[in-house]
Every structure is written in C-alpha cells, then in structure tokens.
Structure 1
Amino acid sequence: LAKKKVQIDPAWAPEAIRAALARSRASIATAADPCTLPKARKNKVEQEGARLAQRRDGAAVARFLHWLEREAPKGHLTELAAAEKLKDFRAATGELKDLSFESIPASGPHAASPHYHASAESNRKLRNGEIFLIDSGAQYLDGTTDITRTVIVGQPTDEMRDRFTRVLKGMINLSRIRFPRGTCGSQLDVLARAALWTAGLDFDHGTGHGVGSYLSVHEGPARINKSDRTPLEPGMILSNEPGYYKQGAYGIRIENLVMVHEAKDIAGGDRKMLGFETLTLCPIDRRLIDTGLLTRDELQWLDAYHAQVWDELGDMMGSDDRKWLKQACAPFERETR
C-alpha cells in the first residue's frame, strides 16, 4: 500500500486500521463512508419489504400483548419469561431469521434504565401496579424491526398516565410533522420533547436512529437527536422513540419506526415537503393514556393510527386475539373530556 491512496471514514474507522495504513506508508484520505448514505435510502423493494415485515411483526407483538394482559396479573411472570414468549410469537410466523438485538424486558424500577439488561441475577417478576416496558426487534428477509411498548399491570397512577401521555404526545407530533428538504434530525428532535419540557421533564437519549433492511438495527448516517446534521431523505427508516424515566420507580418509552417520504403539497405553500410514514403497527396501551392532555389533532392522529392497525392486522389474528385487538384499537373520541 506504500504511496497508494486509501480513504477511511474518521467517524467509524478503528484506530488500528489507521495505524496500520500509516505504517504501510499509504496516503490516507479522510471522508464519510460513501456506502452509508445510499444504503440508508431504501429502494422501492426495500420499502415494500419493510411494510410487510412490520405488518407481520406487529401482529406477533399484538398477540404477545394480549397474552401478557392475561398472564401478567397472575404474578408468576418474569422479565426473561416474557421476552422468551415474545420470541416464540415471532418464531410462529415462520419467517423469523433472528432477533435484531437482545430484547430489553424491564419491569418496575428496571424500566427506569433505558438500556437495562435482564439476566438470571436481575430477572424480576412483573408486579401489580407497575409498568412493564419491552424493547425488542426481529430480522426477517424482507426487513428489520424495532418496537417498544410500555404497558401497565393492573391500574396506573395518575402520574404514570400523565408521563405516558406526554411521551405519547412527543411521538405523535414527530410522526405528524412535515418539513422541507435539507432538514436534519437535530431540527426535529424538540418535537419529541416539548410536552415533557413544559412539565420540567426530559429524557437523556436520542429520539431516533437509522434502521437497516435485514441489516443492523442501528444504521447511519441519519439520526434524530440534539446534534445530528445529516439531512433526512426519502427512503430513510428511523426510530421514533421518546421516553421518560423516573429513577427507582418506572420508565416509559413508546417506539415506532418511520420512513421518510415525499409529503403532499400544503395548500398555499411554495416548497416541496417531506414527512414520515409510520411503519410499525401495534396498539398503544389505552389504560395509560389521559385523553384530556391530548389536543384534538393528536387524538385524531391516534384514532387514525389505531384504525390502521386494526385494518392491517385484524384479519391476521385468531378469534380471541381479534376481539382483543378490536377493543385495543377502538376510537377515543367518545372518551374525551
């Protein structure tokens, strides 16, 4: 390699590689990896594959949530047992290749740690009156999934419902936004946090990361956080996962995957806009939602989302699961105060 020009990405190349090139007297050029951006812009086949994978995975997770709602109150279920059961539901699709990462099942105070790792030593039972958070994902040939759902075992406190609804507002408002080309994740991050900020709250992780197509569940270069400067482009798939964590008590996170697409023109506008297509299809625990904190637009989005979940997943469910899903996806309009 002496005197030959070798390009490396300084953001990702290991120091050992740079040092080896230097010892070989190669001419080192630094630039962003030319493969990451084209890979992040999913083509039409990958986009359709993502929709199919999310539909299949959403049905598996919905079946799990129905099972969880029945089993958790009995008092015998542990974090690891719940995670294993979710894997079983995914495997039952006949399409599962692997999990996209090790599931994060977290009950009660364990959920207050965003990256909690359940082990044989820490394995905890799900208890009445506590929150259970499960962050999980799957690899299918047609796509990669990543979803977090937070549910209550028994009855929630008013504070839990308040915090959950503020997190939900952030997820909804990021999902709904339309933005001009050239916008990057750091310009949108506040949308996921604003409802928490107004109550003096926040969360200490990024709002979203890129997701591959039967590849890494964490994919660059685009992210949604306070510092990212990569413009969002059509075809990119990212997570939308705001949260709230009360140390020693509970944690909340709601995560859907979204795909950047060209949005409809805005009447009277003079710029082409982009927006997000929500890919993840799975109900959100209505027992934790305080509809009085939602605006009419937010509530309409939530009802439309649950209507889509029902339309897409209803025919994939058995009789009992279908009845549960219909109730889980019922509109909230009649419940507003």
Structure 2
Amino acid sequence: MARPSNKLPEEHDLPCVAFATELRALRERAGLTLAQLSALSGLSTGTLSTAQNGMSVPSEKTVKAFVEACGERDTEPWVAQREAALRGKRPQQASVSSQAMTADDCGERTAWRQTWSRWEKSGKLTPPSGASSTKALVFWLRGLRAYRSVSFRTMARRSDYSHTTLAAMANGFHPITVRGLLAFLEGCGVATFAEKIEWLALLERTSASARRSMDAAREQARMRALISGGGQTHVSRPGEALTDAWQPAAARPRRGRSAWPRQRAVHVDPFLLKAELQALNRFYGAGFLPILARHTGVPTRTLQRYLKDEIPFLAGDHKDRLAAALMRMGSSPPPRERLALILPPLAYEASTTIRR
C-alpha cells in the first residue's frame, strides 16, 4: 500500500500552496504513486515529495519532469504557474532555514513586486525610470532574474556567457560592463531594443566608470538608430550632437575610437560580434548576408547557420573579416542603397590592393 502524502499547509490562498495542490491533483488523476512517478521521471521520491508539499517552489526541471511523467505534453502553463508561485510568499509553516531565507529576501521582493506588476501589465521589462543610486542596476537585475525565475546556468546557455560571472554581477562582486549587461538581459529573455536602451540608460547613470558610461551612451545611440530605421545617428563622445546626414568614412572628420564594440578586428568578442550581426540582419533584411558574404568570403549559408546558433563559433580568420566589415560600415548602419558600395565584393578589394 502506498504511503499517504503529507498534508498541505493551511494557507491555501498562497500561490506556492495552490501550485502544489495542482501538482498533487495531477499525480492522483494519473493514478501514480511517488515510486512509480520516480521511475518514470528519473527524479528521486524525495524531490517529487518536496515538489508537491507546498513548502517551497520546485525547479523548472523538476516541474517539467513531474508533469511529463503524469502524461501532460504541454508544460508551458505549468512553468508559468511555477513562476507566479515563485514570486509569491511562502507558508508560515516552512522550515527555519526557509523562513530565514524568506526574511532575507522579503525586503527586496516587496520592492520588486510593484515593478513586477507593471511588467506583467505592460509586457515591457524596463527598470524604474527614477532609479539613480550606484547599486540600483545590481538591485534591479536581481529583480529581473527573480521575475524570470531562471538559473545562472540557464542564462549562461542563452547568452554564451560564464554563469559565475553572471552570478558575480548579480551579487555586486563584478563590475557591470555593456557587454555583461547585454548578456544578462539576453539570459533573462529581454530581446527588444527599446527595453535594452532603458537598461543601458540605467548603466550610464549609475556607473562609477566614465568609460562604461560612454560605452552605454554609444550603444544606446546605435540601438536608437536601428529602431528608427534611418541608421544615421552617430555619437562619438558624451554630449556631442547627433549627426543626421550620413557621410562616407573618408569624408567624415576623424573622431575618437569608433562606437563600441567595433574597436579593432584583431581581438573579436564572439558574443558582441554575433549580437551585432543579428541586429544588422534584422535591420537590413534578406539582402544583407549575401552582400556581407561576397565582401568577406564567408559563405552565406555559414553566416545563416551562425546567426541561428546552429554552429557555435566561426574560424578566427572569418571573425576578423566580419569585424573588419563592421568597421568599414562605421559606428551606425549606413543606408541600404550605399551598403553594396561600402562592402564591395572580395575580388574588387583584392584587385585594388594589387594596384596599390
């Protein structure tokens, strides 16, 4: 005879208790004991018992294995319900360690909930506009991760960034750069330029490093140019006026270092290179990759697979050629009609080099 399940906490209105009730009802409808469910899911009976006891919220992996073992194919509603439970309160009957953990997080979660409510209503994951303290970015990045309820390892897989570095940034132990911020946002599923611009603006306001503030301002200008569709915005220094008329590289006055990340082609950051190419591909459409392939000698199919994450990385010479092509395009994407002139075919470049 199967061992009876433990009683659920009395706070039935709490999201985590309601979620455990749903999991328990699902298992009972499937007619499975914990031992049978363990054999089907590959999880221990202790893990499954904890998932349905209502004292805590199980991990996403546990929920998916639990639900699939009970015969449910669509796990997305269960994952969404888990995320709602994760953002709610815990029962008073929880263990001492759980209560201590909840007490530590209570102040942060109370401050986050108002912003979480705004995110749920608007669908835009942007930080509060009034945030200006030096620790505001770290605080709201932790809130974003808690809202998305993702682990650092999952974020690392999504962003090709080290999970230890992501954790160090979220805990304030590692300085947040533009690249690190974009990787963190990518791991949390923040995909639109408008949302990223708001986070970059927060980095610009709160960073103690003038260089990082400058990088954040440049990246905001680049993304605004991509959003507007004109591609003529250029910012070289903080406070410099925007240039509305595009000029070829030879006619432009010499400025400081080009807008990040196009600084040099000999040391290429693979994450930034892919993010930049994906943004330009979305901006120009279907005609961009063939022009880029003819200019760099990298096959179009290779570029397509690289941008779709079907291949993890490119050869070193391919990366250098692509980075050099981005440098030729300047700090803002040029108009479509000039793209073929700025990125001529490889044979033309070779013949020009020989004549010189």
Give the TM-score normalised by the residue count of structure 1: 0.26
Q: Which has the larger radius of gyration?
A: 2
Give the number of the structure with larger relative contact order, counting CA–CA contacts within 8 Å between residues 6 or more apart.
1
Pick the structure with more helix per residue. 2
